[in-house]
Amino acid sequence: MIIRSRAPLRISFAGGGTDVSPYMDEQGGAVLNVTIDKYSYSSLQLSDSPHITVQSLDYDIIAKYDLDKPLPYDGRLDLVKAVINRLSPKENAQGLNVFMHTDAPPGSGLGSSSSLVVSLVALFQHWLHLPLTNYDIAELAYEIERVDMQIQGGRQDQYATTFGGVNFIEFSREATIVNPLRIPNEILYELNYNLLLCYTGKTRLSAGIINSQVRNYVQREAQVLHAMGELKAIAKAMKDNLLQGHLNEFGALLHEAWINKQMMAQEISTPYIQELYAAARREGALGGKISGAGGGGFMMIYCPFERKHFVAEAMEKIGAKVVDFHFDLNGLQTWNARM
C-alpha cells in the first residue's frame, strides 16, 4: 500500500508577521491569505525492511535509518525526521519508505516548509487512522516546526495549507480561528487574472528576518508597533473589499500593506526587490509585496488587467520570472495510490 498526500502553497496578502509570538499572544494577529496550485507532495510505503528510508527529489537525497533508534537531527531532512519521530509507532515499529518533493524551493516565501510538514502529518494520520481534525493537523505541524525543531516563524502557513482556499485567520494566545471566505467565482477569477506572481531568483532564510522582527517588537520600537497594528487593520479592510468585489481598492491596500511590512525589519526588503517593485508601479501596478517574511522568494503584484502584460515585461527585463498559477480551494488532500 502507498499513501500519498499533497498540501498547497500559499500567498499571504496582508497581516503576515502578526501571527508570530509574542506579538500574537499579547496583541492578537490577523492575516488574509489564499492557497495556490503549487504543492508539497509526500508518499509513504510500508516495508518489511528494519529501516526507515527517506528520499527527497528536491535535494536528490536518499537516507536510511535503523528502525529501533530515533532519527538523528543532523541538518539533512530534519523536518521530515521530526514528523517521523513524533508520529511513527514506537511499539511494533514498522519499516517505512518516505518520499517527498515540493513545487517551490525552501525560502520561496510561499510556505513550502510548512506545507511539507502538513503533508507528512497527513500520511501518518491516514495510515494510523488518527482522529485529527484540520485544526489538530495544523497545530501539530506548528508544534513540530516551532517547538520540536525550534524554527522561528508564525502560525499562518500550517493553517492555510491544511484548510485551503481564501481565509481570514485570527490568532490569539487562546486559539486560532480560520474564517473561510465565500467569494463568488467571478471575483476569484478576476482577482487571479489581475495578479502576477514573479520569482525573484533569490531565496532567503526567513528565521533571521523573523528574529529581527521579534526583537524590534520586544524592544517596543514605535514604528514597528504602529506598522503591525496597521497590518492587522489592512488585512481586515482587504477582506471586506474582496468579499464585495472592490478589487482596485484591494490592490491599493496591498501597496499600503507592503509599506507597513517594510517597517517591521530592515531585512524584509533589498535594493533588488525595491527595483522590481518600482518598475511594476511605473507600469501601472496598484500594489504588491514579497511573499512570506521577505528578503527574496516570490513577489506578488496586483495590476489592472490592461497593464498586466506591461508589468510582466518590466519584471522579466530586470530578471524576475513570471510564474503561472491558479487558486487552490481544496486544501490538504490524502489518498491511497492504486498500483
Residue position matching grid coordinates 463568488: 184
Tell me the per-residue pLDDT of 84-113, one tens digit each, with 9 for 90 and over: 999 998 877 889 999 999 998 777 889 999
* Separation CA 86–CA 253 (nearest Å): 41
pLDDT mean over 312-335: 96
| Structural domains in the chain plus CATH codes | 2-182 (3.30.230.10), 185-322 (3.30.70.890)
- For strands 166-171 and 298-302, give the pairing: unpaired
Single-letter residue type at 305? F
- What is residue 152's predicted lDDT score, i.e. its pLDDT? 86
- Backbone dihedral region of 185: left (phi > 0), alpha (psi from -120 to 50 degrees) or beta? alpha
Q: Is residue 319 pLDDT above 70, yes or no?
A: yes
Tell me the per-residue pLDDT of 6-45, one tens digit each, with 9 for 90 and over: 999 999 999 999 999 999 999 999 999 999 999 999 999 9
With CA atoms as reference, report the closest residue to 224 among 254, 251, 196, 263.
263
Which listed residue (78, 157, 240, 328) is catalytic? Answer: 157
* Separation CA 210–CA 6 (nearest Å): 27
**Mean model confidence pLDDT for the chain:** 92
Beta-bridged to residue 47, according to DSSP, are 95
157 assigned to active site: yes
Residue position matching grid coordinates 519508505: 97
Report which secondary-structure segment, H or E, holds 75: none
Residue position matching grid coordinates 509507532: 89
Q: Is residue 211 pLDDT above 80, yes or no?
A: yes
DSSP string spanning 197-231? Answer: EEE-S----HHHHHHHHHHHHHTT-HHHHHHHHHH
pLDDT mean over 327-332: 97
